[in-house]
Structure 1
């Protein structure tokens, strides 16, 4: 499948990796991310939640809501997890968590390879690319800063890169 975008976002969060993993391992309980809701809609048959499906509904910075399905396809505790995305956006998302040298902080890197299926978003894709990228980066930052508030942690080294395929 050809993707329209590769979004890569990274942050350093002043909390041990195990604390981040616990939250990621139970995304249906996340309540610190403004305008984003996760609901478990299907119990997977694999170990450690492999195959679980979540509906993620979020308000974009473009002031409308999108709802996508996220299926857990891989978990390598506590280093990374991978989600398959279906709906108006489809693709693969992988988040990597690594300890900093002192072990007190975690480097979080998320890669989203997505294709747009939503008719209006796809039609406007070429003209709206800068807005899509800005909206994605803002929504991701809000999640990480909400996470940091919940854990009473500091966020540093926020960085976003986007590759556009078409």
Structure 2
């Protein structure tokens, strides 16, 4: 793999738990038990137990990420300092070093996980220039769930769960690319950037809304493709002007591109607004609030905006109203899914 392009990631996660240092150490040291309390860890197989302290131990991990893909890699323990440090080298879908740091102060145990890896899967390397924020979010979501799971496992509370990261850097495979600088474990960590959550939520909810709209058309006997192209043309006319409604074929690439950008751009904007109130009520109430938010968006898009863009009046109707209700619920659900809370 020495000549294959890859991307480097450097992420640090900090957990703080109101639990004895020994209990936290034992839970993390015993990786074979991770699947019982860490959501996302599907399998841990011990290949070699190493010496009496675990030095040289090799284990194969299979992770189911928060996104629809799996990662598998083998770790080899390279350093063990009981109650202080546990380090291992990783080979497989990811390559690099992971290091657990442990400390205790004023009754709180702090765990810092320093993850410096590079991707080896070709599809990840191809997508990394665009999807790097999503891959970082995915790591943060898994680590947040791990902190919550560990706290429940130890019958205590997770006081803090936060992550920070260097931007991913492109480079070559083993021995190539830019050298990663050590990341200090001191100083404040920050939670997952809100723009990443808004982007993920908006794109997901926008895609779901399109699928629901087409399903409702099909159930009602409306021709799906012509109606979809019509709505794309109506949307693109916001930027390209209303003249395209009568003179330009709806299937032209520039119309479809502009319509898609507007659709997802508005979806991300509405997701960012939803984040202001998505986390406050309990989940069932939050989904009801999301439905009401969708009704409000329907009024905004199909009534208020028609004062400026009157051609949208033809898109009004029960199907579009219901699609907006589901869209609003998806926005709230997406915000809560993509921004795991440690409470």
TM-score (norm 1): 0.92
Which residue matches 2:155? 152
Higher-helix-fraction structure: 2
Which residue matches 2:61? 56
- SS of equivalent residue, structure 1 residue 78: coil
Q: How does 1:17-36 map to 2 (within 5 A)?
A: 17-30=21-34, 31-36=36-41
**Alignment counterpart, residue 94 of structure 2, candidates 75, 89, 92:** 89
- SS of equivalent residue, structure 1 residue 4: strand
Higher-strand-fraction structure: 1
Which protein shows a greater Rg?
A: 2
Shift of the alpha carbon at 1:3? Answer: 6.4
Counterpart-to-counterpart distance in 1, 2:31 and 2:166: 27
Tell me which moved more, 77-86 or 153-162: 153-162
Which residue matches 2:141? 138
Which residue matches 2:115? 112
Q: Is the 8 A contact 2:40 2:66 kept in 1?
A: no
Counterpart-to-counterpart distance in 1, 2:151 and 2:66: 21
Q: Is the 8 A contact 2:31 2:44 kept in 1?
A: yes
**Alignment counterpart, residue 9 of structure 1, candidates 13, 16, 22:** 13
Which residue matches 2:78? 73
Q: Is the 8 A contact 2:12 2:114 kept in 1?
A: yes
Higher relative contact order (CA closer than 8 Å, sequence separation 6+): 1
Q: 1:17 to 1:61 in 2, by over 3 A?
A: same
Q: Is the 8 A contact 2:147 2:161 kept in 1?
A: no
TM-score (norm 2): 0.46
Which residue matches 2:46? 40
Counterpart-to-counterpart distance in 2, 1:156 and 1:43: 33
Q: Is the 8 A contact 2:60 2:74 kept in 1?
A: yes
Counterpart-to-counterpart distance in 1, 2:160 and 2:39: 22
Q: Is the 8 A contact 1:10 1:109 kept in 2?
A: yes
Shift of the alpha carbon at 1:86? Answer: 0.5
Counterpart-to-counterpart distance in 1, 2:161 and 2:39: 19
Shift of the alpha carbon at 1:35? Answer: 2.5
Unaligned runs of 5+ in 2: 171-343
Aligned residues: 163
Shift of the alpha carbon at 1:23? Answer: 1.3
